Structure 1
Amino acid sequence: MFKKELEVLLTPEVAFDELARYEAILEQAGVQAGAADFVHLKRRSIDARGRQPLVRLRADVYTGPPPPDLFGPWFIYPNVKTTSDKVLIVGAGPAGLFAALRCIELGLKPIVLERGLDVRTRRRDLAAINKDQVVNPDSNYCFGEGGAGTYSDGKLYTRATKRGDVGRVLRRLVQHGATPDILVDAHPHIGTNKLPAVVQALREAIIEAGGEVRFETRVTDLLLENNRLRGVVLASGEALEAEATILATGHSARDIYELLHRRGVLIEAKPFALGVRVEHPQALIDQAQYRRSERGLLPAASYSLVHQTEVRGEQRGVFSFCMCPGGFIVPAATAPGEVVVNGMSPSRRDSRFANSGIVAAVELADLDVRQHGALAGLRFQQALEQRACQAAGGTQQAPAQLLGDFLKNKMSGSLLETSYQPGLTSVRMDDVLGPVLAERLRQGFRDFGRKIPGYATNAAQIVGVESRTSAPVRIPRDPATLQHPVVAGLFPCGEGAGYAGGIVSAAMDGERCAEAVFAVFS
């Protein structure tokens, strides 16, 4: 067998045509067309630095059968229905689901407790937020099977490559129905319209292997005894006991932070970031990034921006977060009386709008730690979200301002068409954000306008508030055992514990916690 590794630059017209791409790769590999048995595409990214955007591909050319494990290994789950080694997993987001599957592989029986609904039924509560502006505190864009990422984009890109095997997570997703393209694309993305089916398949695999998944099951108390967690108490009054509990509740489970604080379990305030969503016509971003009016076969263009600001002598970063090309802004509140926005994209990324969080770093020095202690960041978030709700009229309508007007601190007489279904209300965003955060965002937007033509104008509008970028609380754990440093049997996990920042990193952390739990039983 002959194998040749190569990297090629192709026009989009060739790169996205399977036959043309195959022939072009063979030609650059110096292999006669028809002689190769297989071309394994390993990486695909867009290179838009030149006058014409190109597609950069990395591929292996085989002139013989490829190795049998080229796409594997796939995962085989033993049946753990009758095992006595049980693990409670609180939360059915990516951290919880991947922790459960890894527990099964290791011979442990997971019992997954999810406060919200299954991924399909959950849709009715999302519709209620968008159409009727009614927020169900247990089932919304943040809570429910699949977690916050399921109906808010499904982006799989992560920089946390040292925390685990990214390829392993992606292969598990493909095995359960995700497109194989995620194994190739530099910025893989499933899409909010396709991810629910993958999430359902993950759950079905857990149940088929003997694990349990319980919906509408909210944890309200802890079974604590001599600094050891023996289990949890549910809203129904039922007590569940297990040797280990993986706490994977996500970054918005404020009642869990309140519970831990009330029960004297050590938690810590941590830095996070918040700001607004900015919405542009996707065509404006395409033109700026690709330098052509029609993008053709190229995907909807995205961007990544960062700027260092200084306000009142304090430096803080302002940066784009969760950029959603061809996407929508969605309401992500988890309780009545607050307005929170997030972004999502369908798999085709074919909306007329582009949106991105533009957020400023919030450090511990910016918080009232003296008064609120470990919950200082949470209280800061709450206050901002409640101001946003009050400013826009007390519903799920979101406060908004034309970007050019925001830079001039001028009230917008009218707003643009938007992808945000509950609707927008024109306000001075300074009244929502406060003077320091508003000034940081202005400095950031002015810099971004110099980097992307047309970006910082009234062709765009800002929508508030983007406040759930990450958890404002960290639940500490021992770096060696991944257990809480004081409470044995408690394994803080994923975004809600402060150890992940997205679907893939949360999934990797879930697998790590499952392996740490296995060490307890070994």
Structure 2
Amino acid sequence: MAMAFAAASAWSLSLTAFSLPLPQSLRPKPSQLLHGATSSFPRPRRCGWGAVVRCAKRTGKQRYPSEKKRLNRRKQELLRQAAPEEGSKGRESGYWRLSKLAVPARDDPGKDFTGISLPLLQAIAKAIKFPVPSMLPDEAFTVIRKSFDARKVLKEPQFTYIVDMDVKKILNIEPRAWDFIARLEPKLGVVEYMTEEKLAVDLVSMLNVSSKGSNNVLGIRDTHSGMIYRQQKKPRVAVIGSGPSGLFASLVLGELGAEVTLLERGQPVEQRGRDIGALAVRRILQPESNFCFGEGGAGTWSDGKLMTRIGKNTDGVQAVMKTFVHFGAPPNILVDGKPHLGTDKLVPLLRKFRHHLRELGVTIRFNARVDDLIVEDGQVKGIVVSDVELQPGPASQKLAFDAVVMAVGHSARDTYSMLWQHNVDMSPKSFAVGLRIEHPQELINSIQYSELAAEVQRGRGRIPVADYKIVKSVGERDAENELDIAEPTRSCYSFCMCPGGQARHSLSLSLSDTPFCNIMIFLQIFEKACRLF
């Protein structure tokens, strides 16, 4: 019996882990496993008298300049080794990824154009040193990423591209390009060679392909022995919460063949929209159907941004984005540097997502609040569910499951209180508090874009609606306290900039076309500051 929890926690209960086989494309490569195993343990250095000192690994801006240069030289050498030798036949195939291709904003067709324009061909020709840009075939290039850069350090605002070049296509259409491709030199972060095109697929297609050619065993895995105990029937899994984590967990488990029940304490997205409208206009609050609870989670009636700091072009991130497109999101989110959906696009997307889950056989129950866990001999055996429209008590229902996935989000405080009563270890962590401020959108456009501000046209123009972010360190790191320990520096920073949106719950539609923008300003609060309370 098992429980998977959305937030990492240490459990005092003895739980075994539920395991389903991962698709081949999601499994870590041996090189990744080796890198993870070695990078977690810094190499010990021996000092005098036989002492062993383990040095903390410096990363990012903490590296010394000499370390950065050495690391860049090593990466550059690896790039040269990965690419075929100059003039060899190996260069007649494969792909070249061209990054940092700059097109002035005055020449670019605009933010909504994701094809190959003549100004972009000129930037590509400059990168590969091809003399006549108009002779390069459009079919040989694919735009991977497009973003807008209006920083003041630049001479003028520009669109920045990442483009993949198909060598076979370009040579078939324009053989004279061979002399330039043969001499193309890899350069870190600018020109990189790939033996095959990096095409991410959505999770639905990925899991379908994996399940057709897989003989993996479905069952329950013992965390101590690693053994998978085959089951005569499909594993029964309860997923609690229909936010992004709950929806994707149900999708993956359903595609892999588990018998999934998705429980949501709130309403379907259609009724939830009416309840939120009643709250905004008539001040009528539904405790279980509002901005926090309901199908889609808290982000459904929020800005709908799809930005991440973990790598926009990684396979995992692209698979999630492709899944959104599979369920109706506009394809330009795969290319935009700052992809944004908006509530008006999320609502129909969630309908299609729900319909697909039901086609997989996933049982979806709304108005179903999980009040307790059924624990026997230190193991979770099931859950206690009640209808939120009825009073808890005799109407509560006990359900048995092989595994429980808790994707309850941050607002279900009653659930966390219930877990605390079951002696689940919970660790306090630092958090942030702040306020949301609102500006006229035209003011931010004029500050960021100057004369280009007129091109925004409330989200319908060539230039994207302007945004900004700020960060400031507060406090002295070297200030000593009573324990002679340096206090950490706190950060005051912005979060969830919502251009062309509404300050009420940072709601924003797909066009970002309202006259105002808003942003959260946060101050970091550490655990020590909360001990007085």
Pairwise same-fold verdict (TM > 0.5): yes
Paired residue type of 1:323: M
| Cα distance change of structure 1 residues 361 and 305 upon mapping to structure 2, 3 Å threshold | same
| Cα distance in structure 2, aligned partners of 1:29 and 1:159 | 27
Q: 2:150 aligns with which of 48, 52, 58?
A: 48
Asked if 1 retains the 8 angstrom alpha-carbon contact of 2:244 and 2:297, the reply is yes
User: In the alignment, is residue 278 of structure 1 matched against residue 443 of structure 2?
Assistant: no
Matches within 5 A, 1:52-91: 52-62=156-166, 70=199, 72=201, 75-76=204-205, 84-91=234-241
Larger radius of gyration: 2
1:158 aligns with 2:327: no
Could you tell me whether the CA contact under 8 Å between 1:72 and 1:171 is conserved in 2?
Answer: yes
Partner of 1:5: 97
Q: Which amino acid aligns with 1:213?
A: I
1:345 to 508, 523, 526: 508
Match of 1:247 in 2: 406
Cα separation, 2, equivalents of 1:107 and 1:263? 31
Q: Could you say which residue in structure 1 is the equivalent of 2:521?
A: 358
Q: How far apart, CA to CA, are the structure 2 residues paired with 1:59 and 1:86?
A: 45
Tell me the amino acid that sits aligned with residue 418 of structure 2: L
Checking the alignment, whether the CA contact within 8 Å between 2:114 and 2:332 is kept in structure 1 is no
Q: Residue type matched to 1:294 in 2?
A: A
1:69 Cα deviation after fit: 7.4
Mapped partners of 2:444, 2:115: distance in 1: 28
Normalising by the residue count of structure 2, what TM-score does the alignment of the two structures yield? 0.62
Task: Look up the equivalent residue of 1:367 and give its one-letter code.
Answer: C
- CA shift, 1:161, in A, is 4.3
For residue 27 of structure 1, what is the amino acid of its counterpart? Q
Unaligned runs of 5+ in 1: 331-341, 372-522
2:118 counterpart (15, 20, 23): 23
SS at match of 2:475: strand
Alpha-carbon distance change, 56 to 298 in structure 1, aligned in 2, over 3 angstroms: same
- Structure 1 residues 118 and 20 mapped into 2: Cα distance closer, same or farther (>3 Å)? closer
1:210 to 361, 374, 399: 361
**CA displacement at 1:194 relative to structure 2:** 0.5
Aligned-partner Cα distance in 2 for 1:70–1:137: 44
**C-alpha spacing 1:160/1:136, structure 2 compared with 1 (3 Å):** farther
**In structure 2, distance between residues paired with 1:64 and 1:120:** 49
Change (3 A) 1:32 1:5: farther
Q: How do residues 299-448 of structure 1 correspond to structure 2 at under 5 angstroms?
A: 299-310=464-475, 315-330=489-504, 342-368=505-531
- Equivalent position SS for 2:271: coil
The alignment's C-alpha RMSD in Å is 2.9
Task: Tell whether the 8 Å contact from 2:327 to 2:353 is kept in structure 1 after alignment.
Answer: yes
Quick one: which amino acid aligns to residue 37 of structure 1?
E
CA offsets 1:326-384 (integer angstroms, 9 cap, x no match): 11112xxxxxxxxxxx3122111111111011011111112147x7xxxxxxxxxxxxx
Q: Select which of 448, 464, 467 maps to 1:289.
A: 448
- Matched pairs, number: 358
What secondary structure sits across from 1:269 in the alignment?
coil
Matches within 5 A, 1:139-288: 139-161=289-311, 165-236=316-387, 237-288=396-447
Contact 2:141–2:163 under 8 Å retained in 1: yes
In structure 2, the CA distance between the partners of 1:150 and 1:216, relative to structure 1 (3 Å rule), is same
What amino acid is the match of 1:159?
R
Q: Distance in 2 between matches of 1:158 and 1:19?
A: 21
The offset of 1:27, in angstroms, is 3.4
Offset from partner CA, 1:300-336 (integer Å, 9 cap, x none): 1111111112399764211101110111112xxxxxx
**CA distance in 2: counterparts of 1:206 and 1:299, whole angstroms:** 35
CA shift for structure 1 position 91:
0.2
Contact 2:264-2:295 within 8 A present in 1 as well = yes
Contact kept, 8 Å, 2:202 with 2:326, in 1: the verdict is no
Structure 2 residues without counterparts, runs of 5 or longer = 1-92, 126-132, 171-195, 212-217, 219-231, 388-395, 457-461, 480-486
Which amino acid is the alignment partner of residue 445 of structure 2? D
Deviation at 1:134, TM superposition (A): 2.1
SS of match in other structure, 2:141: strand
Shift of 1:33: 4.6
Moved more, 204-213 or 56-65: 56-65
Aligned amino acid, residue 133 of structure 1: R
Cα displacement string for residues 215-261 of structure 1 (whole angstroms, at most 9, x for unaligned residues): 11111111111221111111241111112111101111111112112
Residue number in structure 2 paired with 1:37: 139
Residue 173 of structure 1 aligns to a residue whose secondary structure is helix
Superposed CA offset, 1:4-37 (max 9, x none): 5334212335433549852223333345457342
Secondary structure (helix, strand or coil) at the match of 1:291 reads: helix
Preserved CA contact (<8 Å) 1:231 1:239: yes
Query: How many Å apart are 1:269 and its aligned residue?
Result: 2.1
Q: Provide closer, same or farther for how the CA distance between residues 276 and 294 of structure 1 changes in structure 2, counting only shifts above 3 A.
A: same
Q: Report which structure shows greater RCO (CA 8 Å, sep ≥6).
A: 1
Q: Structure 1 length normalisation: TM-score?
A: 0.63
| Cα distance, 1:60 vs structure 2 | 2.0
What is the Cα deviation at residue 84 of structure 1? 2.4
Distance (Å, rounded) in 2 between the aligned partners of 1:2 and 1:195 = 37
